């Protein structure tokens, strides 16, 4: 394990030897919470509860790295993404960028920060205005942040961006419907790059795309990261894509992080039962694995975030659950059993963490 | 060799007549922008108890083929312009509306991707399930309700008796998909066509639903056509695979052989472009370019503009489905080279 591990057990930047040493944290998330109130009544609204979409999430994003966030629908990963780019205000907690808590900023200060944190959306069909030309779509960030590009330069800049994402710069006057899904996603990426941000939050950026086109867009995102020194928060439900693109991975379940670590730690040495179940359920494109794979089938559905289980949120579907799990919330830290040097030594929010290899192959 | 006398996919029971045999099916959509040739001579067979996976990307014609087989093609703009759909020996395309309707549901059923929009939102699931028994089997409402509860239990819906009166929106995505499966199974069909049945589901739920489907298929010895773009799901359940591109089958093979040694460059490109769960890997292989516009399919091999092996003949001559081994066929002039791993 790397010598620069943090006291809270988060693996340090040296933990992944495959990459050059990554820089300082560019984004520090602390105890982030987003509750959506549930109300009753029309005239006199009374709060009767809250949907706890995100309920205490902490992590760091470091310069130049890709942090993958995986989880199933309803786990809060998209709400988290929206808070990171300032589209939603957290109920509590901090999002620190360059030492400032962006959750408390407003007006001009918030606008300045937002320039550096851009978002790429999932659906290339609905996230582009059908009545705007590609040039207007990609250039729109310059209308909001005119200081980023003087008016005369904009057309040239937009054409450069089209070139960067692999589209013909002459397409600048075309409309979104004249492009395929993969090309539209490239347009969305070009828009995200327009202001030369430091951080890009990508929420399921390739899940709407066909396999052959998905590979093109993943490769593009990786090339752009190197070219522009970007840090990515890459949110997806496809565990294979996340492994491919991420330096570190966080597994999210019902508003909280269950396990965090390098791709190697999470995929080869998972210690949280949810991660293990999730990995074991992924269909692997190898018919030989059919016979000798061990699949952990979870029973039931994810509980409602309006009424999450006490203690460990996963306990209602966990085959290891004990009375303790209902009483005490397991903290996200390196479990007692894995304090020794080794790949299982990474934060896992389980009272009964055990290493189990579940990914077939290798 | 023509498209119609292609080698039969392996494991489809040569001795008995196949349950379903599609021969040289052609479908086109007449649109304002011209005629989109969605299906251009597709042939496949499924036997009882067998699973045929039809793999393809959007626009490959995999769903349109299934819709034509089921007789639920939107027409206009879609028209079946040729071919036969032999189901238990009868050509469904020659049947009248009423007769076709009797086959659909009772003998063959379909499961769709999006359960929420496929179920009627203003009827309880019990009423929707029961309707099948009332219409097709003439049961009373009470009997039908009893059967509905049994079916819901069979597909693993907890507290079925209490939930039979609930509406679709009151169920989770996975449970709704189970209800769709229950509806498809209601009249004990011989063939099920499942069009991306788990694509909208989370991975843990997807595993549950696919397991259920496979179990029921074994139990009732149904033929299953699984339409999907997911190479992982296919590897898990299929016996044979048909890979579609631009409205044609470009390769068909038993599942193990296809993954081990693809005989068509498109299949190989697909297999190489998916990221792996078991290792991080380097840069992904990406098939260059885009699938063709169906109103202007390239001459020769439709894959030639994207193919790393393409030569002059690929632009001029359309490759037939060559017999490339037992139960295997590939529509590539250079299938030998592809099998040998040429790039």
Which pair of structure tokens corresponds to residue A80? 């988290």
CA–CA separation, A3 vs A6, rounded Å? Answer: 9
pLDDT score of A22: 52
Contact A218 B203 (CB under 8 A): no
Compute CA distances B227 → B7, B113, B171, B241, B291, whole Å.
21, 10, 24, 10, 18
ipTM above 0.90?
Answer: no
Q: pTM for this one?
A: 0.84
What span, in angstroms and rounded, lies between the C-alpha atoms of A330 and A307? 18
Residue B279 near chain A (CB below 8 Å): yes
> In which element (H, E) is residue B220 found?
helix B203-220
Query: B271 in contact with A at a CB cutoff of 8 Å?
Result: yes
How far apart, in whole angstroms, are the C-alpha atoms of residue B65 and residue B82? 12
Which CA distances in Å does A340 have to A249, A266, A334, A337?
A: 21, 17, 10, 8
Read off the DSSP letter of residue A348. Answer: B
Indicate yes or no: CB of B280 within 8 angstroms of CB of A18.
yes
Those residues with Cβ within 8 angstroms of residue B187's Cβ, 6 or more apart along the chain or in another chain: B105, B106, B109, B132, B133, B136, B137
Contacts of B231 in chain A (CB under 8 A): 211, 285
Q: Is the pLDDT of residue A8 over 70?
A: no
Is the CB of B279 less than 8 angstroms away from the CB of A362? yes
Using CA atoms of B328, B329, B334, B338 in order, give the dihedral in degrees to the nearest 10.
-40
Q: Which residue of B has its CA nearest to A245?
A: B280
Are the Cβ atoms of B203 and A289 closer than 8 angstroms?
Answer: no
Q: What is the pLDDT of residues A240-289, one digit of tens each?
A: 999 999 999 999 999 999 999 999 999 999 999 999 999 998 888 888 87
Asked if the C-beta of B293 comes within 8 angstroms of chain A's C-beta atoms, the answer is no
Comparing CA positions, the residue from A122, A121, A123, A124 lying closest to residue A178 is A124
- B299's tokens: 């001459």
CA-based R_g, chain A, Å: 21
Q: What is the pLDDT of residues A122-166, one digit of tens each?
A: 877 788 999 999 999 999 999 988 888 888 888 999 999 998 898
CA distance B103 to chain A (A): 33
Q: Is the confidence at residue A17, as pLDDT, over 50?
A: no
Structure tokens at A167: 């589209």
Q: Cα dist. A273→A120, A238, A334, A355, B53 in Å? A: 31, 18, 15, 9, 32
CB atoms within 10 A of CB A177: 9
User: Which of B232, B238, B273 lies closest to A284 in CB terms?
Assistant: B232
C-alpha gyration radius of chain B: 21
Size of interface A-B (CB pairs under 8 A): 136
- DSSP structural state of residue A15: G
Q: Express as a percent the part of chain A with pLDDT over 90.
A: 50
Nearest residue in B to A243, CA atom: B280
Please give the full DSSP string across A121-172, using - where no structure is assigned.
-S-TTTSS-TTS-HHHHHHHHHHHSGGGS-GGGHHHHHHHHHHHTT--GGGG
Residue A42 has what pLDDT? 78
Contact B235, A290 (CB under 8 A): yes
pLDDT tens for each residue of chain B, 343 residues long = 344 444 444 344 444 578 999 999 999 999 888 888 999 999 999 999 999 999 988 889 999 999 999 988 888 888 999 999 999 888 999 888 888 888 887 889 998 887 778 888 899 999 999 988 888 888 898 889 998 998 888 888 888 888 899 998 888 878 888 888 888 888 889 999 999 888 877 888 888 888 888 888 988 899 999 999 889 889 988 999 999 999 999 999 999 999 999 999 999 999 988 888 887 777 888 888 888 888 889 999 999 999 999 999 999 999 999 999 888 999 999 999 998 886 6
Q: Which residues in chain A have Cβ-Cβ distances shorter than 8 Å to B236?
A: 283-284, 287, 290
Say if the Cβ atoms of A222 and B283 lie within 8 Å: yes
Q: Which of B98, B99, B97, B67 is nearest to B80 (CA)?
A: B67
Which of B172, B238, B269 is closest, CB to CB, to A212?
A: B269
pLDDT at A6 over 80: no
**Phi, psi of A317, deg, nearest 5:** -115, 5
Q: What pLDDT does residue A274 have?
A: 95
Contact B203 A282 (CB under 8 A): yes
Q: Give residue A208's pLDDT.
A: 79
Residues with Cβ within 8 Å of residue B83, at least 6 apart in sequence:
B22, B23, B24, B25, B26, B41, B42, B43, B93
pLDDT at A309: 93
Residue B264 CB burial class (10 angstroms; 0-12, 13-18, ≥19): buried
Tell me whether B207 touches chain A (CB under 8 Å). Answer: yes
Q: What is the per-residue pLDDT across A173-228, written as a single tens digit (0 to 9) for each? A: 999 988 888 888 899 999 999 999 999 999 988 887 888 888 888 999 999 999 98
- Confidence at A361, pLDDT banded by 50, 70, 90: low
């Amino acid at each position: 394990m790397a010598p620069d591990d943090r006291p809270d057990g988060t693996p340090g930047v040296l933990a992944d030897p495959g990459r050059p040493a990554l820089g300082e944290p560019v984004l520090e998330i602390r105890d982030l919470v987003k509750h959506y109130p549930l109300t009753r009544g029309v005239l006199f609204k009374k709060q009767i509860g809250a949907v706890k979409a995100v309920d205490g999430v902490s992590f760091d994003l470091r310069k130049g790295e890709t942090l993958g966030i995986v989880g199933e629908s309803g786990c809060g990963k998209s709400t988290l993404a929206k808070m990171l780019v300032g589209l939603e205000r957290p109920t509590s907690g901090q999002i620190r960028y360059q030492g400032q808590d962006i959750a408390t900023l407003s007006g001009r200060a918030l606008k300045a920060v937002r320039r550096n944190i851009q978002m790429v959306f999932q659906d290339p069909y609905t996230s582009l205005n059908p009545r705007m030309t590609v040039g207007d779509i990609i250039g729109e960030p310059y209308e909001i942040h005119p200081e980023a590009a003087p008016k005369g330069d904009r057309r040239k800049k937009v054409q450069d961006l089209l070139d960067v994402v692999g589209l013909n710069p002459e397409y600048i006057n075309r409309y979104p419907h004249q492009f395929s899904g993969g090309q539209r996603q490239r347009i969305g990426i070009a828009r995200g790059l327009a202001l030369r941000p430091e951080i890009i939050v990508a929420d399921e950026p390739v899940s709407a795309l066909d396999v052959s086109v998905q590979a093109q867009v993943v490769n593009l995102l990786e090339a752009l990261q190197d070219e522009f020194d970007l840090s990515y928060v890459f949110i997806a439900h496809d565990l294979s894509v996340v492994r491919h693109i991420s330096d570190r991975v966080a597994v999210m379940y019902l508003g909280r992080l269950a396990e965090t670590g390098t791709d190697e730690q999470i995929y080869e040495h998972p210690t949280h039962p949810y991660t293990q179940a999730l990995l074991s359920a992924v269909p692997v494109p190898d018919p030989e694995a059919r016979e000798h794979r061990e699949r952990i089938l979870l029973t039931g559905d994810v509980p409602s975030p309006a009424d999450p289980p006490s203690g460990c949120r996963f306990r209602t579907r966990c085959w290891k659950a004990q009375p303790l799990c209902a009483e005490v919330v397991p903290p996200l830290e390196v479990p007692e059993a894995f304090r020794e040097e080794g790949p299982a030594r990474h934060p896992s929010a389980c009272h009964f963490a055990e290493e189990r290899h579940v990914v077939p192959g290798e | 060799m023509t498209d119609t006398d292609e080698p039969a996919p392996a494991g489809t029971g040569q001795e008995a007549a196949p349950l379903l045999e599609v021969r040289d099916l052609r479908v086109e959509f007449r649109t304002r922008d011209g005629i989109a040739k969605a299906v251009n001579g597709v042939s496949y067979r499924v036997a009882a108890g067998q699973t045929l996976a039809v793999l393809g990307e959007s626009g490959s014609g995999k769903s349109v083929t299934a819709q034509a087989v089921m007789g639920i093609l939107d027409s206009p703009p879609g028209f079946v312009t040729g071919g036969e759909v032999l189901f238990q020996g009868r050509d469904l395309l020659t049947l009248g509306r009423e007769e076709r309707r009797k086959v659909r549901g009772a003998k063959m059923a379909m499961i769709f991707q999006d359960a929420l929009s496929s179920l009627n939102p203003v009827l309880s699931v019990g009423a929707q399930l029961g309707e099948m028994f009332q219409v097709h089997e003439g049961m009373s409402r009470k009997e039908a309700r009893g059967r509905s509860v049994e079916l819901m239990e069979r597909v693993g819906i907890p507290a079925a008796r209490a939930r039979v009166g609930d509406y679709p929106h009151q169920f989770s995505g996975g449970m709704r998909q189970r209800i769709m499966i229950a509806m498809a199974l209601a009249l004990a069909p011989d063939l099920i066509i499942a069009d991306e049945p788990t694509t909208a589901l989370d991975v843990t739920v997807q595993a549950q639903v696919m397991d259920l489907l496979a179990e029921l298929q074994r139990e009732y010895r149904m033929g299953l056509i699984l339409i999907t773009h997911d190479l992982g799901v296919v590897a898990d359940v299929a016996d044979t695979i048909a890979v579609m591109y631009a409205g044609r089958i470009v390769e068909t093979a038993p599942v193990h052989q296809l993954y081990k040694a693809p005989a068509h460059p498109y299949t190989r490109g697909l297999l190489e472009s998916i990221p792996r769960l078991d290792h991080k890997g380097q840069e992904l292989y990406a098939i260059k370019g885009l699938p063709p516009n169906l109103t202007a399919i390239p001459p020769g091999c439709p894959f030639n503009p994207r193919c790393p092996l393409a030569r002059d003949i690929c632009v001029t001559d359309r490759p037939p489905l060559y017999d490339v081994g037992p139960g295997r066929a590939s529509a590539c002039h250079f299938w030998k080279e592809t099998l040998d791993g040429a790039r």
